[in-house]
């Protein structure tokens, strides 16, 4: 009889565990209900948002445009797959001969399963509807069987990451004015997303996702992790933590609560990269300096201390007063308290005021730097890359895949 009682008790405990498991699973599902379920992911052109102004390319068309995805057409690669350079007719978008028509970048994804499809779909549904000078233009897409491809305007200068951190004859140091102009462009792109209806949270703002056109204008790319912002009076959306180490806001890492202020934090990290020429996370730096935010934070409110942060490749050719203003702005962006961070509209305004204001009377120069009293003028000769325009540029790093932190 005792064995029967024990058996019944075990069954009861098992029933409780199953019930609890079902409860928590259903709660997790309800938390993720704001995202599109995989069963409703589009698999044909007709299921893609009908107002997306995109061309549905066939796989054969993209093979022809890229010369059958030849290895010498590769301009970038990563965990997501490869990016190929191709050509299409400007009017009909039909494949054209190399050197004719318009240049395109064709991203061929090799990710399989739910997450790869979600990111492919997010690119189409956001970039297919959003249009702004500081967003990379998505020309079209291809979905045939297991093949998923995206077709973008070609960005000949590659990514900001390449120019800040790579060395070589093609990647000359970016001048101060060029860096400020890139920050302005990227800020305008983020502000546009945050002002959209519904609001769009980029979620993966980083140097490798900022691409540059032939005039070094910054454009945001790779919307695979973007999602709609909070609705109504809600302050955030709850989501699985994804992004890139070193750029994600601390409150997002801790709670999964995502808001526009999460993007602002990431923007502050990129501002620090522009100031310092250092990566957000760099294990090659001395002990205590691996994390850029933690290392730089104490030096951002004082001119003399700021010199320790500034990129030596600038060779002092900048206004220290203006550099300090950008450093203080970066410090506000990386505030631990999300509510204390400025909005992207406020950041755009601050950067534009910094750009147009007249230089104050010549300040006392530190012997380690020289102040550029004409720093408010765009330096069209700030890079020597144009002097090497006859050289074939190295393969550019198109956005690398984001990782779940």
**Over the stretch 296-340, which tens digit does the pLDDT of each residue have?**
999 999 999 999 999 999 999 999 999 999 999 999 999 999 999
Better-predicted residue by pLDDT, 184 or 54: 184
How much is the pLDDT for 403?
47
Share of the chain above pLDDT 90, in %: 54
Spell out the SS3 assignment of the chain. CHHHHHHHHHHHHHHHHHHHHHHHHHHHHHHCCCCCCHHHCCCCHHHCCCCCCCEECCHHHHHHHCCCCCHHHEEEEECCEEEEEEEECCCCCCECCCCCCEEEEEEEECCCHHHHHHHHHHHHHHHCCCCCCCECCEEEEEEECCEEEEEEECCCCCEHHHHHHCCCCCCCCCCHHHHHHHHHHHHHHHHHHHHCCCCEECCCCCHHHEEECCCCCEEECCCCCCEECCCCCCCCEECCCCECCCCCCHHHHHHCEECHHHHHHHHHHHHHHHHHCCCCECCCCCCCCCEHHHHHHHHCCCHHHHCCCCCHHHCCECCHHHHHHHHHHHHHHCCCCHHHCCCHHHHHHHHHHHHHCCCCCCCCCCCCCECCCCCCCCCCCCCCHHHHCCCCCCCCCCCCCCECC
How much is the pLDDT for 113?
59
The model's confidence at residue 103, banded by pLDDT at 50, 70 and 90, is very high
For residues 184-196, average pLDDT:
97
pLDDT in tens, 211-263: 999 999 999 998 988 998 888 777 788 888 888 989 999 999 999 999 999 99
Residue 99 in this model has a pLDDT that exceeds 80: yes
Name the catalytic one among 28, 72, 131, 204.
204
Residue 164 in this model has a pLDDT that exceeds 80: yes
Structure letter (DSSP) for residue 401: P
Judge whether 204 counts as a catalytic residue.
yes
pLDDT in tens, 2-24: 555 454 545 454 444 434 333 33
Better-predicted residue by pLDDT, 364 or 162: 162
The model's confidence at residue 35, banded by pLDDT at 50, 70 and 90, is very low
Any known ligand binding at 107? yes
Please tell me the distance from the alpha carbon of residue 151 to that of residue 85, in angstroms, as a whole number: 10
How much is the pLDDT for 354?
84
Domains of the chain: 40-153 (3.30.200.20), 160-388 (1.10.510.10)
For the ranges 17-31, 122-136, 178-192, the maximum mean pLDDT occurs at 178-192
How much is the pLDDT for 49?
52
Please tell me the distance from the alpha carbon of residue 279 to that of residue 284, in angstroms, as a whole number: 10
* Residue 7: C-alpha distances to residues 15, 19, 90 (Å): 13, 19, 75
pLDDT in tens, 166-186: 877 677 889 999 999 999 999
For residues 357-367, average pLDDT:
43
In this structure, of 170-184, 195-209, 350-364, 385-399, the range with the lowest mean pLDDT score is 385-399
The model's confidence at residue 114, banded by pLDDT at 50, 70 and 90, is low
Q: What is the mean pLDDT of the chain?
A: 79
The model's confidence at residue 122, banded by pLDDT at 50, 70 and 90, is confident
Please tell me the distance from the alpha carbon of residue 141 to that of residue 94, in angstroms, as a whole number: 13
Whether this model's pTM surpasses 0.85: no
Quickly tell me which residue has 């962006």 as its tokens. Answer: 333
How much is the pLDDT for 356?
66
Q: C-alpha angle with apex 382: 379 to 388, nearest 5 degrees?
A: 135
Residue 46 in this model has a pLDDT that exceeds 70: no
Torsion of CA 31, 33, 39, 40, to 10 degrees: -150
């Amino acid at each position: 009889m005792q064995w029967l009682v024990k058996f019944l008790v075990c069954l009861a405990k098992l029933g409780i565990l199953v019930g609890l498991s079902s409860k928590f699973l259903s709660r997790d599902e309800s938390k993720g209900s704001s995202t599109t379920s995989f069963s409703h992911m589009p698999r044909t052109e007709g299921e893609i948002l009908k107002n997306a102004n995109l061309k549905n390319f066939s796989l054969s068309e993209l093979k022809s445009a890229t010369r059958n995805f030849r290895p010498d057409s590769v301009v970038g690669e990563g965990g997501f797959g490869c990016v190929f350079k191709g050509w299409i007719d400007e009017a009909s978008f039909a494949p054209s001969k190399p050197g004719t028509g318009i240049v395109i970048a064709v991203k061929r994804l090799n990710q399989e399963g739910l997450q790869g499809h979600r990111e492919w779909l997010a690119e189409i549904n956001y970039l297919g509807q959003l249009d702004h000078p500081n967003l990379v233009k998505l020309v079209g897409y291809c979905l045939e069987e297991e093949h998923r491809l995206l077709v973008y305007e070609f960005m000949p200068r590659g990514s900001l990451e390449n120019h800040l951190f790579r060395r070589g004859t093609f990647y000359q140091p970016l001048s101060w004015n060029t860096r400020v102009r890139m920050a302005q462009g990227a800020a305008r792109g983020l502000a546009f997303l945050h002002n959209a209806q519904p609001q769009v949270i980029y979620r993966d703002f980083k140097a490798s996702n900022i691409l540059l056109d032939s005039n070094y204008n910054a454009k945001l790319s790779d919307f695979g992790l973007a999602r709609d912002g909070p609705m109504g009076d809600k302050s955030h959306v709850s989501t699985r933590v994804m992004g890139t180490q070193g750029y994600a806001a601390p409150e997002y890492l801790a709670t999964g609560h995502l808001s526009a202020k999460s993007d602002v934090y990431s923007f502050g990290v990129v501002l620090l990269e522009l100031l310092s020429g250092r990566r957000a996370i760099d294990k090659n730096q001395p002990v205590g300096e691996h994390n850029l935010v933690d290392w730089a934070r104490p030096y951002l409110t004082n001119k003399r201390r700021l010199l320790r942060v500034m990129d030596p490749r600038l060779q002092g050719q900048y206004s220290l007063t203006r550099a300090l203003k950008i450093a203080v702005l970066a410090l506000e962006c990386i505030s631990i308290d999300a509510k204390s961070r400025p909005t992207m509209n406020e950041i755009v305004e601050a950067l534009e005021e910094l750009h147009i204001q007249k230089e104050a009377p010549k300040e006392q120069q530190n012997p380690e730097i020289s102040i550029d009293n004409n720093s408010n003028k765009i330096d069209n000769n700030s890079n020597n890359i144009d002097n090497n325009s006859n050289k074939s540029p190295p393969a550019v790093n198109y956005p690398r895949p984001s990782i779940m932190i």
